[in-house]
Amino acid sequence: MYGFVIRDAFSSPHPLHQFLTTQNVDTLSIQAILCNPHQQVSADTIRLLPSLSIIVTTSTGTDHIDLSECSRCGVQVVTVGGGQFAEDVADMAVGLLINVLWKISAADQHVRNRGPSRSWSFSLGCKLGGKRVGIVGLGRIGGEVAKRLEAFDCKIMYHSRNRRPNVLYPFYSDVVELASNSDVLVLCCPLNEQTRHIINREVMLALGKTGVLVNVGRGALIDEKELVRCLMEGEISGAGLDVFENEPNVPKEFTALDNVVLSPHAGSLTLECFTDGCELVARSLEAFFSSKLPSTAVVDD
């Protein structure tokens, strides 16, 4: 029995399919794959493994896995990055938002690089209290973001695939309308065919010149080229980004802008998340190999 642990897909020279086909791996015996969101599990990879029965991913999203092929081949997909990671990712979202509004990273660089002859003065920040915040994807993470921002007296609104029963926040079925009524958009939804580039130029222009965009979902939720253009043209005020469209590649334009805060997909990279994730992975694989099939997590928005 074999499983593959993809520890660092960014630095790995071989995609999974290439690794399996070039490293003399016994593909007939592989029953389980353990992967992270940066490692693609394609239809070709799945078809290469006739004994494959389960894929465990250390993420909430499954856009890196060909779910249609899994369904066709009877391969179970288990996500272990769900509710237990939601609080930490929500903390990251709020942290990015505060950083952008208060220009903390830019102020840090100003102080470090100021020198004895440079002015101490720095441009004004903007408070978080009372802001109108539109959350795109009011699932577990989005709900935790909303809970935290309520403490700042923010007015919460949301867009999801469906209206949430028993949720009192105003619901917008149209993202452009949500943006036009928001000071901030926080992206927490999964990436799929319907949500790819859900934040396009029209949405950004609706958010407006004082608007802020925060993304802790997936990079391709945003049309990144349009985001660069809107930031450089002053069509929106700033952005806090933990994810990028073509990770690990980040548009070089972002690094030159002091109204953009960048984070290396670190929303769940805490010691607590790592420990919990390892335990959940171990339990999922133990249940599988002892014929107690774990439940497939439902990916929501």
Q: Supply the pTM of this predicted model.
A: 0.80
Catalytic residue, chosen from 64, 140, 159, 265, is 265
State the pairing for strand pair 184-187/132-136.
parallel
What does the block give as tokens for 220?
């391709």
What average pLDDT does range 63-88 have in this prediction?
86
Asked if 86 and 64 count as a contact pair (C-beta separation under 8 A), the reply is no
Cis peptide bond prior to 248, omega within 30° of 0 = yes
Alpha-carbon distance of 269 to 183, in angstroms, equals 28
**Segments of 218-276 assigned E as strands:** 238-241, 260-262
265 a catalytic residue: yes
Report the CATH number of the 2-81+270-289 domain. 3.40.50.720
* 220-237 pLDDT, tens digit each: 999 999 999 999 999 999
Question: What would be the CATH architecture of the domain defined by 84-262?
Answer: 3-Layer(aba) Sandwich (3.40)
The residue among 38 and 159 whose pLDDT is bigger is 159
Q: Is the pLDDT of residue 72 over 90?
A: yes
pLDDT for the residue 183: 98
State the pairing for strand pair 54-57/238-241.
unpaired
Q: Is the pLDDT of residue 137 over 80?
A: yes
Residues 162, 168, 171: CA angle, nearest 5 degrees: 40
CA distances 61 to 21, 141, 186, 218, 298, Å, are: 26, 12, 17, 8, 10
CB atoms within 10 A of CB 231: 20
163 a catalytic residue: no
* Environment class of 203 (CB within 10 Å of its CB; exposed 0-12, middle 13-18, buried 19+): buried
Closest CA to 104 of 267, 263, 273: 263
Catalytic residue, chosen from 69, 235, 247, 253, is 247
What does the block give as tokens for 250?
């980040």
Mean pLDDT score of the chain: 87
* 262-279 pLDDT, tens digit each: 999 988 888 888 888 888
Closest CA to 30 of 17, 39, 40: 17
pLDDT for the residue 174: 97
Asked if 20 and 46 count as a contact pair (C-beta separation under 8 A), the reply is no
pLDDT for the residue 25: 77
Residues of the chain with CATH 3.40.50.720: 2-81+270-289, 84-262
The residue among 132 and 18 whose pLDDT is bigger is 132
Q: In what order do the strands lie in the sheet with 155-159?
A: 155-159, 132-136, 184-187, 212-215, 238-241, 260-262
Catalytic residue, chosen from 218, 224, 226, 245, is 218
144 a catalytic residue: no
The residue among 207 and 285 whose pLDDT is bigger is 207
Q: Is the pLDDT of residue 33 over 50?
A: yes
What average pLDDT does range 96-123 have in this prediction?
86
